[in-house]
Amino acid sequence: MARKISNRRKIIMTVLAWSIGFLIFFPILWTIILSFKTEGDAIKTPLQVLSSHWTFESYALVQERSNYFRHFMNSVIISFGSVILALVIGIPSAWAMAFVPGKGTKNVLMWMLSTKMMPAVGVLIPIYLMFRDWGLLDTRTGLIIVLCLMNLPIVIWMLYTYFKEIPSEILEAARMDGAGLRSEILYVLTPMAVPGIASTLLLNVILSWNEAFWTLNLTAAKAAPLTAFIAAYSSPEGLFYAKLSAASTLAIAPILILGWFSQKQLVRGLTFGAVK
Amino acid sequence: MSTHASRAAARLMISPSVILLFLWMAVPLGMTLWFSFQRYNLLMPGQTGFVGFQNYEYFLTDPAFFTALWNTLFLVGGVLLITIIGGMLLALLLDQAIFGQGIVRVLVIAPFFVMPTVSALVWKNFFFNPVSGIFAYIANFFGFPAYDFLAQAPLLSITLIVAWQWLPFATLILLTALQSLDSEQLEAAEMDGASIFSRFIYIMVPHLSRAATVVILIQTIFLLSTFAEILVTTNGGPGNASTTLTYLVYVQSLLQFDVGGGAAGGIVAVILANIVAIFLMRMIGKNLET
């Protein structure tokens, strides 16, 4: 028997849900609004802010004064670089564990996960000193290495759960049809693995983009990605609301868009398969 | 069936990540452990040497440690309380039949994708600021004096910011769990005359408790490392009022250059995090078998 949902109830629930959704989203919305105002208008009362005129001025100023684009590119290079490196290392491992599982596979997986549980402060000093001695402080290379290792356990876990879902019967069928190992990997497995690899890439790029412990502690002016660049607004001089908003909007917009595509992967990637 | 050769190939494929992760974990952790027993201050390069448990003694008897420990518990506990209760209510709401469900979902999830430095500065300046913040404006509008959130209640303010960031995560996972609930079971209970309340208590809560445990454990791991939000809002102050364990270790190692003391603090943080991690690992491990 289908349950009958009264229209009134549906409307009440809709109004309630939209109101709460709006409130939760409001800080982001307000940041976007302020980014299109002048500094003088941005500190006025909310109603005055809304009725003042709209401008792209702050975006131009942010780029002009601090070479915003460079920090943006740092973020892009560091987040994609670290995840691609992690995929190169992680795909063979996850592949082997999913398709040729041995007795120790489960233990290896759990051990990899346990490295993720280590709080970053526990290794802050050694990493900092090593980076100092090796000249890796404030370099993109240094951050790519650290973020790659930080995300490697999640990358391998996600890939493993995706690869596990590829039915092994398909492999057997391909083998029966006379496919060699090369064509098996190229024409049968790869097309089935691509969506899983893409999802893994997506979620981990988001995590790296927003990472704010190592990026803040290991960079200064040169290699600073957006997380560190925006942290500099914590002690600014003069009026800065509109500029902070413009810098923030540009920093979160790409990830918000990627994030909308990755809702499902988020649950899967961050719960390590414990919630499906 | 895997042959001997393919087993060997598999080992070869797994070893790079195992070796790298081992180096990444064991070497720095070993160094931290080593430093924690040394007198080692970057400002006093000559005076180094083995000091036994002295660093631990100083760290654990420092009044700042107890403040930091309490602050850490407050932050983690507060965020968990808000996100679990709020997330549960939001998940129940989003599970209802509503118009534009997809859009509401997107609005609710959005804060999770905002980088920590941005969300902290947005809250600090646009909302908490006692002169030009929106909360001050609302207070003045109703005739109340403005409240200086970050000066008068720094820890609570940071807790609110972090809770805003993690509410989407809790909601999303609880919603996923809720949607995997067998609706026939609920309908059967309804037909048998169970009220909404008892349906919630006897069917939904047991089903959701597992997902809620996962949320609690994973969030705890991440929340213990909260750093950027404190750095850009209060710098741990006023005084030590919003210094957590993570932040205290950072101050000691990179601001006071006391490598030995900071290392001891780092080891304490690792031990605390591991207590939580053991429970989480056990839950995930159980799931792996099925």
Residue A136 lies in a domain: yes
pTM: 0.88
Residue A241 lies in a domain: no
pLDDT band, residue A2 (cuts 50/70/90) = very low
Residue A111 lies in a domain: yes
Mutate to test the interface with B, among A89, A271, A272 (most CBs of B within 10 A): A271
Residue B185 to residues A175, B176, B177, B179, B190, Cα–Cα distance (Å): 44, 17, 15, 13, 9
Which domains are delineated in chain B? 37-289 (1.10.3720.10)
Which position has the token pair 């240094």? A142
Residue A245 lies in a domain: no
Residue A25 lies in a domain: yes
Q: Are A72 and A62 in contact (CB under 8 A)?
A: no
- CB < 8 Å to A88, chain B: none
Domain tally, chain A: 2
Cβ-proximal residues to A94 (8 Å cutoff; 6+ apart), any chain: A155, A156, A157, A159, A160, A163
pLDDT band, residue A4 (cuts 50/70/90) = low
pLDDT less than 70: residues of chain B: 1-5, 287-290
Residues A47 and A177 in one domain: no
Q: What's the average model confidence in pLDDT over A74-89?
A: 95
Question: What pLDDT, on a 0 to 100 scale, did the predictor assign at position A5?
Answer: 61
Can you list the alpha helix ranges (DSSP code H) found in chain B?
4-36, 54-61, 63-94, 101-109, 116-122, 134-141, 149-152, 154-179, 183-191, 196-199, 205-223, 228-233, 245-250, 259-289
Question: What pLDDT, on a 0 to 100 scale, did the predictor assign at position B53?
Answer: 86
Q: What's the domain range around A161? A: 68-234
B156 to chain A, closest Cα gap in Å? 18
Residues A126 and A218 in one domain: yes
Residue A187 lies in a domain: yes
Nearest CB partner across the interface for A114, out of B97, B117, B277: B277
Q: What angle do CA A175, A178, A183 make, to 5 degrees?
A: 75
Residues A46 and A119 in one domain: no
Q: What's the average model confidence in pLDDT over A94-112?
A: 86
Residues A100 and A174 in one domain: yes
Which stretch, A77-86, A98-107, A162-171, B201-210, has highest mean pLDDT? A77-86
Which residue of A lies nearest to B257 if distances are taken between CA atoms? A125
CATH number of the domain bearing residue A226: 1.10.3720.10
Nearest CB partner across the interface for A127, out of B28, B114, B274: B28
Residue A256 lies in a domain: no
Residues A33 and A161 in one domain: no
pLDDT band, residue A82 (cuts 50/70/90) = very high
Residues A93 and A204 in one domain: yes
Residues A32 and A75 in one domain: no
Residues A155 and A35 in one domain: no
Residue A253 lies in a domain: no
Write down the mean pLDDT value for chain A: 86
Residues A13 and A105 in one domain: no
State whether A275 and B211 contact (CB < 8 Å). yes
